[in-house]
Chain A
Amino acid sequence: MPETLNGHPIELVVTLPDGHRMDPPVLTPLEQAALEAADTALSGHAEFKVQYPGATLIHAESNRGVADNRHGRFYLRYTLEGKLPLEFFAFLAPKLTVDLEKGLVGVVLFRSPGDSRATQV
């Protein structure tokens, strides 16, 4: 069964702290929420839509050897018709940040009391 993120079928990779890939890859609720929030932030970003019309999420990664709030914690890849795929690094941040030039997306998550699943603000 293919992995999906925000309804997009994707190739998913989870890299463990020792550098090996988890097989099969399974995201934690926080990782799932962070990647979905990053995709939502990009897809809804006005400049992203203008610069990259038709960009489609095809690949996502979670790097567990990188701290949640550091660049490089998450990775997203989008295809573009006839062009090179786009790469973005995502991380948890105190406020939503999208830097198209550097390929960085900072997303805000919190845990509501009694809820183990992270939720986007």
Chain B
Amino acid sequence: MKSLLTVLLCSGLAWAASPYSEQNPPLLPDASLTPGDVLTTDAKLVCVSGYAGSKRKVSQSLKDAVYKTYGILKHTSGDWEIDHLISLELGGSNTQSNLWPQSFVTQPLNAHVKDKLEDALHKRVCDGVLPLSEAQKAIALNWTAAYLKYVGPLPAGAVVLLPGQAASSTSAPGLAPASVPTVPGAPASPTSAASSPPNPDGSCPSAAPIKVSKSGIYHVPGERDYAKTHAQSCFASIQDAEAAGYRAPKR
């Protein structure tokens, strides 16, 4: 009983300490939970038509375990996926070390954007212009930096993300540091060039009262969640916020 209590307490504390939730999705994986894992570094084996589709499926119970380790205890169906940090098409494995929850709906950085990077890296590898191991290292270390290097500027003026406070390590075991560029001092969440900076207390200036939360959702004055939203950026109008890729809350 004592050991069970210890396990429950330790587990609860670990999950309670997670900085993530449905409202605050991880934009980068926590390297201490998801360092990445590969099946092969042989490009010949992954550059076969239909390769990724032939791979195993991750069970729902393993997906649930991954959500839980990131502190996401409930999530809206269809808004999330359990992503392979090193994608199957780049030789990634189906182990828990290679899985993390990624949102489809955060703006401007989300699972669709990472998918574009995965396709670009796979093409480069299979065209013979990029070693598979280098592609694996780059996407495991920081997928936003890899996007900038191998695809181009991130969408909607987003900047390269730095690993969050929750990550106890930025290097992936078994993977040497990749030479991908990072932007020193870059904020840990995406911003848009069209936005105004929030006030230090998280409120917005009166000229740009629309608040955008960490999850990429905008809130207008008078709305239920407006007062408690700590703005990451501010806009003068709903049109400006939507043009920058942010969305209204779902009701």
Return chain B residues, CB-CB under 8 Å to A65.
65, 68-69, 96
Quick one: which of B100-125 are within 8 Å of A by CB? Answer: none
Tell me, rounded to whole Å, the shortest Cβ–Cβ distance linking A30 to chain B: 15
* Chain B interface main SS type: helix
Return chain B residues, CB-CB under 8 Å to A21.
97
Which of A11-19, A35-43, A46-54, A112-120 has 4 or more CB atoms under 8 Å from chain B?
A: A11-19
Query: What CA separation (Å) do A103 and B62 show in the bound complex?
Result: 14
A102 interface residue (CB < 8 Å to B): yes
B95 interface residue (CB < 8 Å to A): yes
B133 interface residue (CB < 8 Å to A): no
A77 with B96: CB separation less than 8 A: no
Interface size (B, Cβ < 8 Å)? Answer: 30
Interface size (A, Cβ < 8 Å)? Answer: 26
Pick 30 A–B contacts, CB within 8 A, sort by A.
A13-B97, A15-B96, A17-B7, A17-B11, A17-B68, A18-B15, A19-B14, A19-B33, A19-B65, A19-B69, A19-B70, A61-B95, A63-B65, A65-B68, A65-B96, A66-B64, A70-B62, A71-B60, A72-B59, A72-B62, A72-B65, A83-B45, A84-B39, A85-B40, A87-B55, A87-B93, A89-B59, A89-B62, A89-B94, A103-B56
